[in-house]
Structure 1
Amino acid sequence: MKQTISIIGSGFSAMAASCYLAKSGHQVTVYEKNSSIGGRARQLKREGFTFDMGPSWYWMPDVFDRFFADFGKKTSDYYELIKLSPAYRVYYGIDDFITIADNLEEIVASFEAIEKGSGTQLKKFMAEAKSNYDIAIKELVYRPGVSPLELITPETAMKVGQFFSNISKDVRKKFKNKRLIQILEFPVLFLGAKPSDTPSFYSFMNYADFGLGTWHPKTGMFDVVRAMESLATELGVQFVTNANIEKIIVTDKIAKAIVVNGETIYSDLILSGADYHHTETLLDQEHRAYSEKYWDSRVFAPSSLLFYVGFNKKIENISHHALFFDVDFYQHAKDIYDEPQWPAEPLFYANFPSVTDKTAAPEGMESGFFLVPLAPGINDTEALREEYFDKIIDRFETLTKQSVKNSIIFKESFCKNDFVSEYNSYKGNAYGMANTLLQTAFLRPKLKSKKVKNLYFTGQLTVPGPGVPPALISGKLVSELINKQFSEQ
C-alpha cells in the first residue's frame, strides 16, 4: 500500500533512503532546512572557484556501485570517476614526504624502501584487511543493528580476537617505522576515533585505502549529490528546501506530523536523516529514547576547522590530497579525545581539487581546502580561526617551499559553531559518532525509535556509522525496516 513519508534532511543517508522508499511505491518528500540539498556535502561557489564543503575523499567505490545497481543504474550513468595518481601525499618535513601510489605494488615498494622487511609485512597486513573488508562491507554493514546475533557468522567467529584488540597494537606488531605506522593508522580516523580505540577488525579501512584506491568524481563530490537527486527525482521524490523543521507531532505514541516553517504537514511515517540528538529535541521529553546524559557519554568524531581558499596562482609541490604530519600525531589525538582543547601544534589536511578538476578554479589559479580536526564542543571564535589559519599556512609555505599568503584572493572559514547552526550537529561534530567497540552495530542508536511508532532515523549517528559509503548503506537499511513494518500491517 502506498504510504506518505516525510524525510527530514537531505544528506547522503536521507537521499539514499528516499530513493529506496520511492522505488517501493511510497510518496516521499524530503525537507531540507538549508537553501540547497546535500547536507554536509553542499557546494560553495565564489568568484569562479568551486569547493565541496564537506566530504572530499571518494573511497569504497563498490558501495556507490552497489547503491546505483539497486536501481538498475551505474555510477557512470550520472558521473565520471577519476582514479587519483598519486592517491595522496604525506608531509613530515621539508623535502621529507611519502607519496602514496595508486596501486598496492608500488606502495609495498615504498614501504620496503623505508623499512627493510616492511613490504612483506604490508602484503600480509593487506591480505587480512581485504578479508575483513569482504566480511564487513559485503555482509555485516548491511545488517540493521537490531541484534548482537547479526555479528555472529562463521567468518566473524574466526576473527573474534580482532574485536578485542585495536588497530594501533596490530600495526605496531608488524611495523617499527613511525611514519609507516602513522600512514596505516590514518584511515581509521575516518571512523572518528583514535587508532588505539578502534577494533583491529576495522583494518578493512586500510584495504579501502591501499587496495581500492582514492577516486574523484570529475567535478567534485557534489556530482554524487546531483546524481542521487536526479535518481530520486526520476523515482518521484519531491524536495523542499528552506524548510526548517520545528517539531515532530506525536499522538498516542505515534508520529503523525512535522511542523515546517509553522505549517503542520501530516504523513504516515517520519524518517530523520538530520542529527539524531537534534531530532529527538523536536519531540516532547517523554518521547525521547536517549537522555542528555546518554549523548554526553558517547565518543563523538571530531569537529573541524575548515578553510575554503581561492589563490590567484597555481600552487607548487602539492598533490590533490595532502596530509601534514610534521608535528606530533599522538599529541593532537590527545587534544581531541583525552583532554579536549585547541592543539598547540595541529595536524592538518589540504585538498586542491583544481589539480584534478580544471573547473574548480579559474585558469591559472588554484582552489584550496584546508582542514584541522578539533575536539567537538570546543570554544570557537573568529580570533582562534585566524590564529590557526596563520599557523597552518606558515607551515604549508615552509614544507612546500613557496610563498602563498600574498596570493590569497579570499578565504572562508567553517568551524564548530557553523556545524551547529547549519546542520544542528551535536557539539558541532563533523563526522558523527565514533566506531569504537562499544559503539558498533547494535550498540549504536537505533534506526527505529524505541518510543514512537512510525518514527525512524538514518545517518552517521546510527547504523552503520560515519562516512559517505556507510551513509548510503544506512539509507538502505532503514528503508528495509520501514518496508518490513508496512508489509506487516
Structure 2
Amino acid sequence: MSGTTRDARGRAGSDGRRAVVVGGGIAGLATAALLGAEGYEVTLLEARDQVGGRAGLWRSDGFAFDTGPSWYLMPEVFDHFFRLLGTSADAELDLVRLDPGYRVFFESEPPLDVRSDLEGSVALFEEVEPGAGERLREYLRVAADTYDMATRYFLYTTFASLLPLMRPDVVARLPRLARLLTRSLEDHVGERFADRRLRQVLGYPAVFLGSAPRITPSMYHLMSHLDLADGVLYPQGGFAELIERIRALAEKNGVDVRTRADVVRIETEPLDDDAAGASSSGSADRLRPLRRAGRAALRRPVARATGVRVREADGTVTTLPADVVVSAVDLHQAETRLLPAHLRDHSPRWWRRRLPGPSAVLVYLGVRGRLPELEHHSLFFTEDWQHGFDAIFPRGTRHTPSGGPDVPFPSPASLYVCRPSATDPGVAPEGDENLFVLVPVPADPRLGRGAVDRAGDPWVEAVADAAIGQVARWAGVPDLAERVVVRRTVGPADFAEDLRTWHGTALGPAHTLAQSAMFRAGNASRKVAGLLHAGGTTIPGIGLPMCLISAELVLKRLRGDTSAGPLPEPQAGTGAGTDPGTGTGAGTGPGAAPGARRA
C-alpha cells in the first residue's frame, strides 16, 4: 500500500490518518483495535456509560449478568481475531468446554442432553430415531464442508469484487450451493429426520440468525456443525470479560475509548468529480485505498466524511475531525439519525421491504439455592413451535406487522435459559444461581419496556411471569418463582430506545436469502467516501463471530483488499504477516490455517 510504514512494534503506519468509530459494541471495539494496530489515530465514541452494546454487564446483589450474547461458537474466528493483534484466545480468555453442550426440554417428552462432540451427537440421534445417527453423520459432514467453504470464500469478503469467488472448488460446488440457497432449512432437515425433537434441534440454529427455519436458507445447516461437532465453549468471567479483553487490546494499540459521548451527526463535505478528496489536508492520498476499493459500487460518492458531531456528557457539542468514520451502530440508526436524506444509501421503501429479526423479552434472575435441573444452556421447545415462529414472522408478509400490547404473549413459548453459574462461580453468590431467560417476540417497540422488580410494562412482565412458570413446570422446579431474589426484565422498547435498534430487534435483519451474503447491506457507503459500517446489521451478519469478521472487513476495505479469505495473521515474533499491500488475503485464518485453533 502506497505510503505504508511500520513503527518499532511492527504496526503498519498510516501517516497520521485519523479514524472515528461510532459505537462501542463488540464490532466497534474490534474495529478500533484493528485500526489502531494498523497505525490509525483512533477515537471510539460510545453514547452509553459502558462499552459492550448488547454484550453488556449488569450487577445486582452479588449477581453479575451478561446482558446479551451467551454462546461462544466458531472459536477459530475469535482466535484469528486475537492473532491479528499479536495474541491468542488462549492467552486472553479462560475457555471451558461445556459437556453436554446444552439440554433440550420438551412439552411432553423427557429432556435430551446434546453432547459436545460428533460421536456423542450421533449416538443421541440414533437412540431417539434408529438410523438417524448415520444420517446425522452425513448431514454434519456436508455441514462441515459448507462451513469451510463459507469461511474461505463468503464470510471474510466485502464483495467489492466477485472475481476471488471464481475458483474451481467454488464453481464445482455451485449446483449444491444453489440447492442450499433456494430451499428452506425446515425442508432440508425434514426430508432427513422424522422425529420432531431431532428436527427442532437441527432447526433451532435459525434463531441464532434472527430467523425461522421455514424462511432460512438450508445453507445455514452449517450452524449445526458448530454445536453438534465443533463443541460449545464458555469464557470464564462471562462475555463481559471478552469485551474487556478487546477493549484492553484497543487501548494498548492507542485507541481513545470515550463513553457518554453521543454522536449526533456524521460530518461531510461535497465531493466534486474532479476533486475527489483533493483538499488542502492531503486527503486525496488518504482516500486512494477507499476509492480503489469502491470502484465496483453502483454509484460514485457525492460527499466525503470529515468527522462527527458529538454531544458530551455535560451537554456540550463538539466536532471531532476524521479521515475515516466507521459506524458500528445499527445501520438504520446510522442512516436515518446521523446522515441527511440525500446521503443515505437506502430509501424508506428499501427499509420497508426488509425483514427484521425477532425482538425478545429478556429476564435476568438471581435465584437462591441450586438448580441442577438446568444445564449451562437449556432450550425449551413447544410441540407446536411453528405457532411461535408465525407470530414473529407472519406468513405472506415481507415485514413484521405492529400490533402493540394487544398481541397475545406466547405461552407456552419456545425459549432459552442460560445458567452460567453452573460453570462460573463468579457470577452469583456461593450456593445461588444466575439465570438469563430469553423469549423471542415480535420486533415491535410498542410491546413495551422492562425494568427491575416487576416495574416494567404489563405485557413484558406477563411474558416474564409465563416464562418463569413454564421453566418451573418443565424442569421440575415448582418453587422457582418463590426463590427469585433479583429480577430485571428487558423488552422490545429497550432495544429500540437504549440500543437504538431498527424496530426494536434484538439481533438485526433476519438471515433470509435476500438478506444474506452479497445481498446483505454492504459495509461501505456508496454516497459518502470514507464512511464504512461494521456490526450485525451489515455483512457478514448476526452474532459475535460475525461482528469480529465485520471489523476485519473494514480493514480490508481500507487496504483495498478484495480477496475472499481472512487476512494473514502476523508471524510469531513479528508485527505483521504478508505485506498488506498485496491484497492477497491468503492468510492463516479460519478455513485456511493448518493450525487454526478449534476447541
| Residue 528 of structure 2 is aligned to residue 462 of structure 1 | no
Aligned pairs (5 A) from 1:47-446: 47-93=61-107, 96-147=110-161, 151-157=165-171, 158=173, 159-160=176-177, 161-252=179-270, 253-261=303-311, 262-281=317-336, 282-338=338-394, 340=400, 341-345=407-411, 346-381=413-448, 382-402=457-477, 403-446=479-522
Work out the CA distance in 2 between the residues paired with 1:108 and 1:409: 40
Contact 1:12 1:471 in 2 (8 A): yes
**How many angstroms does 1:327 deviate by?**
4.3
Contact 1:198 1:435 in 2 (8 A): yes
Work out the CA distance in 2 between the residues paired with 1:376 and 1:95: 31
**How many angstroms does 1:93 deviate by?**
3.2
Partner AA of 1:383 in structure 2: P
Q: Which moved more, 1:116-125 or 1:19-28?
A: 19-28
Partner AA of 1:331 in structure 2: H
Contact 1:147 1:442 in 2 (8 A): no
**How many angstroms does 1:139 deviate by?**
2.9
Provide the residue aligned with 1:13 in structure 2: 27
Report the TM-score when normalising by structure 1: 0.96
**How many angstroms does 1:16 deviate by?**
1.5
Provide the residue aligned with 2:573 in structure 1: none
Could you tell me the percent identity over the aligned residues? 31
Contact 1:95 1:399 in 2 (8 A): no
User: Residues 338, 153 of structure 1: CA spacing in aligned structure 2 closer, same or farther, 3 A cutoff?
Assistant: farther
Render the CA deviation track for 1:167-216: whole Å, top value 9, x for unaligned.
11111111000110000011122111221222222111011111211110
Q: Secondary structure at the match of 1:192?
A: coil
Q: Secondary structure at the match of 2:112?
A: strand
Q: Secondary structure at the match of 2:214?
A: helix
Runs (4+) off by over 4 Å: 147-152, 339-343, 485-488
Aligned CA-pair RMSD: 1.8
Provide the residue aligned with 1:453 in structure 2: 529
Q: Secondary structure at the match of 2:257?
A: strand
**How many angstroms does 1:423 deviate by?**
1.1
Partner AA of 1:358 in structure 2: P
Partner AA of 1:26 in structure 2: Y
Q: Which moved more, 1:448-457 or 1:14-23?
A: 14-23
Provide the residue aligned with 2:558 in structure 1: 482
Q: Which moved more, 1:60-69 or 1:293-302?
A: 293-302
**How many angstroms does 1:19 deviate by?**
1.6
Q: Which moved more, 1:479-488 or 1:283-292?
A: 479-488
Contact 2:410 2:463 in 1 (8 A): no
Work out the CA distance in 1 between the residues paired with 2:194 and 2:169: 30
Q: Secondary structure at the match of 1:89?
A: strand
Q: Secondary structure at the match of 1:29?
A: strand
Work out the CA distance in 1 between the residues paired with 2:523 and 2:410: 39
Q: Secondary structure at the match of 1:189?
A: helix
Q: Say which one has the larger Rg.
A: 2
**How many angstroms does 1:110 deviate by?**
0.9
Q: Which moved more, 1:27-36 or 1:341-350?
A: 341-350
Q: Secondary structure at the match of 2:72?
A: coil
Contact 1:255 1:453 in 2 (8 A): yes
Provide the residue aligned with 2:594 in structure 1: none
Q: Secondary structure at the match of 1:198?
A: coil
**How many angstroms does 1:95 deviate by?**
6.3
Q: Secondary structure at the match of 1:195?
A: coil
Provide the residue aligned with 1:42 in structure 2: 56
Report the TM-score when normalising by structure 2: 0.79
**How many angstroms does 1:44 deviate by?**
0.7
Render the CA deviation track for 1:423-454: whole Å, top value 9, x for unaligned.
11011111111221111222111211011111
**How many angstroms does 1:2 deviate by?**
2.5
Work out the CA distance in 1 between the residues paired with 2:498 and 2:202: 33
Contact 2:96 2:233 in 1 (8 A): yes
Contact 1:342 1:375 in 2 (8 A): no
Work out the CA distance in 1 between the residues paired with 2:347 and 2:195: 44
**How many angstroms does 1:342 deviate by?**
4.5
Work out the CA distance in 2 between the residues paired with 1:151 and 1:199: 20
User: Residues 24, 435 of structure 1: CA spacing in aligned structure 2 closer, same or farther, 3 A cutoff?
Assistant: same
Partner AA of 2:304 in structure 1: I
Corresponding pairs, count: 488
Partner AA of 1:471 in structure 2: C
Work out the CA distance in 2 between the residues paired with 1:228 and 1:347: 33
User: Residues 385, 153 of structure 1: CA spacing in aligned structure 2 closer, same or farther, 3 A cutoff?
Assistant: same
Partner AA of 2:462 in structure 1: E
Render the CA deviation track for 1:269-318: whole Å, top value 9, x for unaligned.
11100111101121111111111221121112111110111112212311
Q: Secondary structure at the match of 1:110?
A: helix
Work out the CA distance in 1 between the residues paired with 2:461 and 2:506: 20
Partner AA of 2:58 in structure 1: L
Work out the CA distance in 2 between the residues paired with 1:94 and 1:63: 38
Work out the CA distance in 1 between the residues paired with 2:35 and 2:64: 32
Contact 1:91 1:97 in 2 (8 A): yes
Work out the CA distance in 2 between the residues paired with 1:103 and 1:288: 46
Q: Secondary structure at the match of 2:54?
A: helix
User: Residues 255, 321 of structure 1: CA spacing in aligned structure 2 closer, same or farther, 3 A cutoff?
Assistant: same
Partner AA of 1:70 in structure 2: L
Contact 2:357 2:505 in 1 (8 A): yes
Contact 1:145 1:463 in 2 (8 A): no
Render the CA deviation track for 1:219-277: whole Å, top value 9, x for unaligned.
11111101111111111111000011111121111111211111111111111001111
Q: Secondary structure at the match of 1:138?
A: helix
Gaps of 5+ in 2: 1-14, 271-302, 312-316, 401-406, 449-456, 562-579, 583-599
Gaps of 5+ in 1: none
Work out the CA distance in 2 between the residues paired with 1:307 and 1:47: 16
User: Residues 342, 62 of structure 1: CA spacing in aligned structure 2 closer, same or farther, 3 A cutoff?
Assistant: farther
